[in-house]
Amino acid sequence: MSDISLIMPCYNRAYDLKNVLESYDKQVLDENFEIIAIDDCSSDDTLRVLTSYKPKRYSLRIETFTENQGPAFARNRGIKLVESPVVMFVGDDILPDQFLVKGHLAAHRRYPEKNIAVLGRVIWPPDMPINTLMKHIDGIGAQQFSYYYFQDEQEYDFRHFYTANISLKSDFLKSIEKKFDTEFTYAAFEDVELAYRLSKNNLKILYQSILIGYHYHYHNIWTFSERQYKAGLMASLLIKKHPELTFRIIGLHWYKLIINHLLLKPISNKNNDIRPTLEIEILQRLSEFEWTPYPSQENHYLQTLNYFFYKGFIFGRLGETPIANKICNNYAQKILTPIHTQFKEKQ
């Protein structure tokens, strides 16, 4: 039996997947481990890469779906196959440091309590170009991960159960009947929702900065604003299921903004098409400066990416309805118009 099982949902990452699998063959440790890779009905060569690769250092178990189910469903399939005492969640775009698996096992020996989860760090790889947007979302903005604000060996709450690089005891994970909630169709907040339910059983997440995974997932302002919108949709689902988390997920400031300044503000029928125009213009201008820092850039990224997140939240809460469109129109005017004005003044 393996000492640790790594669950890796795979979807359309064939171009990086072989490098990821090879990196696990370079792990430095004496213990046995396995990777449970679940191909979520990829349309590229993911399945071929998985089935053709012959690992030397670990066991590779492959599951396949005939239709795309999403990461929550894929991880649940993997959990059913786990027999190891420790289960680790990793990404198909995360290339592990050579001591990653060993480090997770060592941490669990140091912290044998069943409720302890070990969170590793995810960083951009040194051989991939990093633009200003990518620096922001993993830096001051913390819209992707919050490592910028973390301190080593400290405990963090359920909101930071990052399934790109985290491990926990299998018995503790299996102590709750329902695992990942498959109603979360996008890769956002399905891990937070699971961790919140585990926190009721006293889940504790300990951060270990030396446990490094390199994130091979390039982003620009267009791709990450879309990611933020989907995250907002999933955040609305999380709050629907757990309304007590409202302020912890969307923040009191933004809640007041949406309720007091947008929902309760008289909404005019004029200029209802301003939102898509503003969105495109702002994204175009920000994309022009992705490789060129400027003084207000961090704030522009922060405001714009928060806008797309809460836009998703509003549509997730209200659906594609006229009132949701009008609220988002007000929201775009309040958040995006000042940025647009600043760009025009630069011309």
pLDDT tens-digit series, residues 211-231: 999 999 999 999 999 999 999
pLDDT tens, residue by residue, 114-155? 999 999 999 999 999 999 999 999 999 999 999 999 999 999
Does 251 have pLDDT greater than 90?
Answer: no
Query: What's the pLDDT score for residue 329?
Result: 86
Query: What's the pLDDT score for residue 322?
Result: 85
Does 71 have pLDDT greater than 70?
Answer: yes
Percent of the chain with pLDDT over 90: 82
Query: What's the pLDDT score for residue 146?
Result: 97
Query: What's the pLDDT score for residue 260?
Result: 61
Q: Which residues of 4-37 are buried (b: 16+ CB within 10 A; e: fewer)?
A: bbbbbbbbbbbebbeebbebbeebebeeebbbbb
**pLDDT band per the 50, 70, 90 thresholds, residue 274:** confident
What global pTM score does this model have? 0.93
**pLDDT band per the 50, 70, 90 thresholds, residue 32:** very high
Domains and CATH numbers, the chain: 4-129+144-215 (3.90.550.10), 221-346 (no CATH)
**pLDDT band per the 50, 70, 90 thresholds, residue 197:** very high
Burial group, residue 135, by CB count within 10 angstroms (0-12, 13-18, 19+): middle
Residue with token string 């590793």: 120
**DSSP annotation string for 69-97:** --HHHHHHHHHHH--SSEEEEE-TTEEEP
Average pLDDT over the chain reads 93
